[in-house]
Chain A
Amino acid sequence: MSSTLGSSIGKKLLMSLSGLFLIMFLVVHLTVNSFLLIPDGGEFFNAGAHFMATTPAIRLIEPLLAIGFLVHILWGVKLTIENRRARGNARYASGKKTTGVTWASQNMLVLGITVGAFLVLHIAQFWVKMKLTGDPLLDHTTISIGGVETEVENAYALVNTTFSYLWIVVVYVIGAIGLAIHLSHGFWSAFQTIGFSNEIWRKRLTVLGNIFAWLMGLGFSLIAVLQYFFYQG
């Protein structure tokens, strides 16, 4: 097993599987975020956040998610360092004029760092407040879940207030676009690495990957922007 994961393809397999796992997380995250757009004063979103915070299965997955992020980041850096060494120090004086290679595919680390930097801010603004320090905005509110009156944290108030600052919305949009470009290569590349690709599927996966990438990127951006413009006060 160690020789498998230590090999070049094995290391890439870890990048691929952790990437696909994070992609699934993004889908769940965007789904819950989309509740922010329901104009009910955040009741449905609070119910969603309550479900995510209390369901045992999801609480079990949370550490797994942290591991997924860590593996993806650590191996991404490790592979980049190895690849720079394999490339050698000499550079081409006449540059690189190869056409048809996407910018994203050659800048995955830079894009990853962009998303990672955003992630630090994002975790500090929400996860830390919800899980560790608490925040006055999170004061309990009572909502009706399936007709049952339930007391939950007012996650909506925290999100809504956070998105009332223009600079935060701008940073979120930059992070989301960085994510979209990262995914525009990462999605199909993950399938290629596990061997699920050929002449036909490469085209399908590239198209699918681009649609997925921009659905994620624009979805997250749009929710933040709409919150800033139309859901304040």
Chain B
Amino acid sequence: MENTINIKLKVWRQAGPKAKGRFETFELKNISTDSSFLEMLDILNEQLINKGEEPVAFDHDCREGICGMCSLYINGRPHGPDDDVTTCQLHMRKFKDGQTITIEPWRSAGFPVIKDLIVDRGAFDKIIAAGGYVSVNTGGVPDANALPIPKPNADEAMDAASCIGCGACVAACKNGSAMLFVSAKVSQLALLPQGKVEGARRAKNMVAKMDELGFGNCTNTGACEVECPKGISLANIARLNREFLSAKAQD
């Protein structure tokens, strides 16, 4: 049997990067508890469009929790009240009938608002471009067993690689720090032989870019790890610190 709820939304509206924003309130009736949070917003926007009003702008893409496009700060938490899921995989059954839901964009100086709930996360792309890759000369694909990799390293690298770059870590951080993101992107390569070659340069360049773009200094509060939809561990930040400091010591 399908359950439905009536909810009240308090949504951040902002016409543009320089415009002054404000909250706007909407009421939605008969929302299926089986619908996702973004489907609920689709319903809202459909109603707004039918009334000839401006729909609420929000980021979304794959809607299966792997692209890192959706964001939203919902009722005091990035990606809402559920743990280890992105907003697109958050379901309306996590909310109560008659509840007021406050929806805000990520708030951090490194992520300026573009419109309504959409922020500019281009800074993350710039950090990746500064070193978050391996340089590979073209050629045949090597055999998977040609380069033995210890299972724990492979597992940890895969865990780090599950970072989707959504920015929830920065949104949750009281320091506006991007360390969890950068540490995941450094760790996923630092743990593997292919990534070790450029390891020192990568750590230095990515940290330098992160600092240049105005992200804050990590104070190890751990809020990022709690709110990360992929459960990226703080151990990665310790690894980034090691990688960076030993790279600098080698200079």
In the bound complex, residues from chain B placing their C-beta under 8 Å from that of A98 are 76-77, 172, 223, 226-227
In this assembly, does A94 line the interface, its C-beta being within 8 Å of a C-beta of chain B?
A: yes
Known interface pairs A8-B210, A94-B104, A105-B220; A87-B109 also in contact (CB < 8 Å):
yes
Binary interface profile of B, 205-225, with partner A (CB < 8 Å = 1, else 0)? 001101100111111111100
In this assembly, does A230 line the interface, its C-beta being within 8 Å of a C-beta of chain B?
A: no
Question: Taking the nearest CB of chain B, how far is it from the CB of A189, in angstroms?
Answer: 4
Q: For chain B residues 124-153, which have a beta carbon within 8 Å of chain A?
A: none
Contacting pair A87 B174 (CB below 8 A):
yes
Contacting pair A8 B207 (CB below 8 A):
yes
Our pick among B108, B210, B219, B227 for the contact of A105 (Cβ within 8 Å) is B219
Our pick among B107, B214, B237 for the contact of A192 (Cβ within 8 Å) is B237
Contacting pair A9 B245 (CB below 8 A):
yes
CA–CA, A185 and B174, complex, Å: 15
In the bound complex, residues from chain A placing their C-beta under 8 Å from that of B68 are none
Specify the chain A residue showing the minimal Cβ separation from B237.
A192
Contacting pair A86 B237 (CB below 8 A):
no
Question: Taking the nearest CB of chain A, how far is it from the CB of B207, in angstroms?
Answer: 6
Question: Taking the nearest CB of chain A, how far is it from the CB of B221, in angstroms?
Answer: 4
A10, A83, A188: most-surrounded residue (chain B CB, <10 A) = A83
Contacting pair B244 A9 (CB below 8 A):
yes
Q: For chain A residues 197-232, which have a beta carbon within 8 Å of chain B?
A: 197-199, 202
In the bound complex, residues from chain A placing their C-beta under 8 Å from that of B245 are 4, 9, 13, 194-195
In this assembly, does A55 line the interface, its C-beta being within 8 Å of a C-beta of chain B?
A: no
Q: For chain A residues 35-83, which have a beta carbon within 8 Å of chain B?
A: 79, 82-83
Contacting pair B77 A97 (CB below 8 A):
yes
In the bound complex, residues from chain B placing their C-beta under 8 Å from that of A3 are 208, 248
Question: Taking the nearest CB of chain A, how far is it from the CB of B49, in angstroms?
Answer: 26
In the bound complex, residues from chain B placing their C-beta under 8 Å from that of A188 are 220
In this assembly, does B175 line the interface, its C-beta being within 8 Å of a C-beta of chain A?
A: yes
Binary interface profile of A, 142-185, with partner B (CB < 8 Å = 1, else 0)? 00000000000000000000000000000000000000000001
In this assembly, does B73 line the interface, its C-beta being within 8 Å of a C-beta of chain A?
A: yes
Chain B, interface size category, equals 35 or more
In the bound complex, residues from chain A placing their C-beta under 8 Å from that of B33 are none
CA–CA, A194 and B227, complex, Å: 24
Contacting pair A90 B107 (CB below 8 A):
yes
Known interface pairs A13-B245, A85-B214, A198-B238; A101-B223 also in contact (CB < 8 Å):
yes
Question: Taking the nearest CB of chain B, how far is it from the CB of A185, in angstroms?
Answer: 7
CA–CA, A99 and B29, complex, Å: 31
Give the interface SS of chain A, mostly helix, strand, loop or mixed: helix
CA–CA, A10 and B235, complex, Å: 18
CA–CA, A94 and B99, complex, Å: 13
In the bound complex, residues from chain A placing their C-beta under 8 Å from that of B77 are 96-98
CA–CA, A195 and B110, complex, Å: 25
In the bound complex, residues from chain B placing their C-beta under 8 Å from that of A193 are 220, 241
Specify the chain A residue showing the minimal Cβ separation from B208.
A7
B172, B220, B240, B246: most-surrounded residue (chain A CB, <10 A) = B220
In the bound complex, residues from chain A placing their C-beta under 8 Å from that of B176 are 83, 86-88
CA–CA, A185 and B227, complex, Å: 19
In the bound complex, residues from chain B placing their C-beta under 8 Å from that of A93 are 10, 23, 102, 104
Contacting pair A86 B222 (CB below 8 A):
no
Contacting pair B215 A185 (CB below 8 A):
no
In the bound complex, residues from chain A placing their C-beta under 8 Å from that of B227 are 98
Question: Taking the nearest CB of chain A, how far is it from the CB of B176, in angstroms?
Answer: 4
In this assembly, does A133 line the interface, its C-beta being within 8 Å of a C-beta of chain B?
A: no
In this assembly, does A136 line the interface, its C-beta being within 8 Å of a C-beta of chain B?
A: no
B-to-A contact residues, CB < 8 Å: 10, 23, 73-77, 81, 102, 104, 107-110, 172-177, 179, 207-208, 210-211, 214-223, 226-227, 233-235, 237-246, 248
Top 3 A-B pairs, shortest CB-CB distance: A86-B216, A195-B242, A97-B76
A-to-B contact residues, CB < 8 Å: 3-4, 7-13, 79, 82-83, 85-88, 90-102, 105-106, 108, 185, 188-189, 192-199, 202
